[in-house]
Chains A and B, each alone.
Chain A
């Protein structure tokens, strides 16, 4: 065919292990490769001009910071040293970040690098082991008790595992109406209308209202989780792999919906995804994590145009592509391997 028989398009040969080695050990050189000067970020040690005081950034080009983490860490203690002792897993190791109102911070990174752990900290489900989380400029401490209800409803999460986050005995209509019952005084008819409207917005049907979670496909459950999080008009929404089970068209519908809501209500998103084409589409800023640490961050354009860290480059290189020449070459390689095997069998 086209005569190429190099092993695949050259960009995808490396694996994580090849790419990262030294970069991980020496964290110094890799911190904010593209830190935007316009956004007043904490420096590497997490210091701020006025520690602990409400941070009110002026209406500078970066906008006001509604969500900020300083030196966030999270350890898990598990049994499992070799002689039955306890072991500590450092899931998040000192992460700083900030997101301006109405913006989207995308987090990408190796599987198991601490993204979901960070998501649970941001949404006040788990406390950090150390470090400070600030929401709308105020430090939030949940280790001493539950956060106030109004704060809880302002920060919502779409879990990575929609199945596990839905009560199997609760009909979908009730799943969507429940947050309104808990957080608003809306009459029942209004709650019902809003829930039906939201079902439609995420591409589901009115007859789905009275079905149970197990009656849905994976992608349908994922959309139910998104719809539920949007019901209470949150200010900050953390979405953990929210479109991974959606076909391109439904994915487009959901991403368009998120963009519309962001524009209309100034929603702030933290968007965790392994799909770099999605990240490139929706993110304002991108943060790349590896083994609990941030190895690269910057504006979407800067990170995609000129990735600084070896791991980021490895990620880009491993992204599968729909290139016709590459498909031709691969198909031809497999055919010739088969021919060779058949000849071998025949010659025995």
Chain B
């Protein structure tokens, strides 16, 4: 079976005042229907940029190249605008990393959710309202009917994040890209959200790409894991292999930085680990 999303040799560079900056350097990545792929790695390693390239949401200063970038057999690089609108936001949706900055501050939460339902499913009026309440209930927002009348600034960080999640799952996407979807949630609600995403994945065969820094979340949800560092893929492994026998030095260093592994008040960083490894030689 062909993967639902296939990317080969994806590179992204940005024009900056100091010259071109290469944020993503030749990444291969694929995900199957019903699969959960986790992407972990250094802050700034190009995780979000790579996924925004798939969505076609990078700014004009970005140059994107790829040998293959296809979704369900369709070439994402050569889509017409109308084809793109039919896929992005409908079949492929994304939970953006910074929820409070991703909602429109000028419209109520209800308006923004109902807009998605209208645009992609043609739902309006009472049925859209009912579905919106249903979605907010599913993501665990208290008093969902009242929350529809709230503006984003009237919600907490985690409540905004859950609104974003509700919007992303509203149309039962084929592929959901979740960029750190639970950072603003306490662990009990995080659990509820992850269970929700996994149940969508089981029931509808949804593919899920989960960007996260939380190794516990990786351990409890992912099938396969990609590790990124400085724009490159360092390692790809099944979730069990990654934790049991990490191959790449960066992966080992990353895992050793878990706060549980701290010695006293000091936490080890990747650099400490690399210095140690190099220290043996000098």
Contacts and interface: CB of A to CB of B under 8 A. Distances in A.
B50 to A, nearest CB: 11
A326 B220 contact: yes
A330 B180 CA distance: 22
A249 B248 CA distance: 15
Interface residues of A, number: 75
Contacts of A276: 187
B179 to A, nearest CB: 8
A276 B216 CA distance: 12
A331 B240 contact: yes
A76 B157 contact: no
A218 B219 contact: no
A137 interface: no
B84 to A, nearest CB: 22
Given A218-B97, A244-B184, A249 B254 contact: yes
A324 B244 contact: yes
Given A245-B43, A322-B219, A109 B186 contact: yes
Contacts of A160: 100, 157, 184
A217 B14 contact: no
Interface of B: 14, 16-18, 34, 40-45, 47-49, 59, 97-98, 100-101, 142, 146, 149-150, 154-159, 161-162, 179-180, 183-192, 202, 213-220, 223, 238-240, 243-244, 253-255, 257-260, 262, 265-271
Contacts of B191: 12, 15, 318, 320
A278 interface: yes
A214 B66 CA distance: 24
B213 A246 contact: yes
A225 B202 CA distance: 39
A149 to B, nearest CB: 26
Given A248-B254, A249-B270, A274-B185, A218 B98 contact: yes
B195 to A, nearest CB: 9
A244 to B, nearest CB: 4
Given A217-B44, A281-B262, A322-B243, A76 B156 contact: no
Given A79-B149, A315-B186, A250 B157 contact: no
A245 B180 CA distance: 8
Contacts of B213: 219, 245-248, 251
Contacts of B258: 248, 277, 322
A236 B238 CA distance: 44
A136 to B, nearest CB: 26
B43 A220 contact: yes
A209 B162 CA distance: 34
Contact of A217 (B48, B219, B239, B271): B48
Nearest to B99: A161
B154 A78 contact: yes
Given A281-B267, A320-B220, A211 B16 contact: yes
Interface stretch (A30-38, A253-261, A295-303): A253-261
Contacts of A8: 220
Interface stretch (A54-62, A110-118, A227-235): A110-118
The list of the 7 closest CB pairs from A to B, nearest first, reads A111-B158, A320-B216, A219-B43, A252-B267, A163-B101, A248-B257, A249-B270
Contact of B269 (A16, A207, A220, A252): A252
A290 to B, nearest CB: 10
A327 interface: yes
Contacts of B159: 111-112
Interface string A10-40: 0010111001000000000000000000000
A317 to B, nearest CB: 9
A330 B218 CA distance: 12
Contact of A251 (B49, B101, B190, B257): B257
Contacts of A247: 40-43, 45, 213, 254
Given A163-B101, A249-B270, A277-B258, A87 B146 contact: yes
Contact of B188 (A87, A207, A249, A314): A314
A19 B187 CA distance: 13
Given A112-B158, A274-B190, A327-B240, A319 B216 contact: yes
A321 interface: yes
Contacts of A109: 186
Given A112-B142, A281-B262, A326-B220, A253 B184 contact: no
A249 B154 contact: no
26 contacts: A16-B186, A78-B149, A78-B154, A87-B146, A110-B186, A111-B159, A112-B156, A116-B157, A161-B101, A162-B98, A163-B101, A207-B18, A211-B16, A240-B157, A248-B258, A249-B271, A252-B267, A259-B266, A277-B259, A318-B188, A319-B216, A320-B214, A322-B216, A324-B244, A327-B239, A331-B238
Nearest to A84: B149
